[in-house]
Amino acid sequence: MTAPTLPDTLRRLHTALQSGGGRIRVEKRRDFALGQTETLWVVLGGRVQRAALLTPERHADLNDPFHLLMVEAVLREECEARGWTWGVEALDDGRAFACVFLQDRAVHPGLGSYANTPAHAHALALLAALSDSET
What pTM did the predictor assign? 0.85
Kindly give the residue spans of alpha helices, DSSP state H, lying in the chain. 6-17, 65-81, 118-133
Please tell me the total count of domains within the chain. 1
pLDDT digits (tens, 9 = 90+) for 15-46: 999 876 789 999 888 877 777 788 899 998 88
Cβ neighbors of 38 (< 8 A, separation 6 or more) are 7, 11, 26, 27, 28, 53, 54, 55
Which structural domain range is residue 102 located in? 6-133
Q: What's the CATH code of the domain at 119?
A: 3.30.2120
Average pLDDT over residues 37-58: 84
* Residue type (1 letter), 120: H
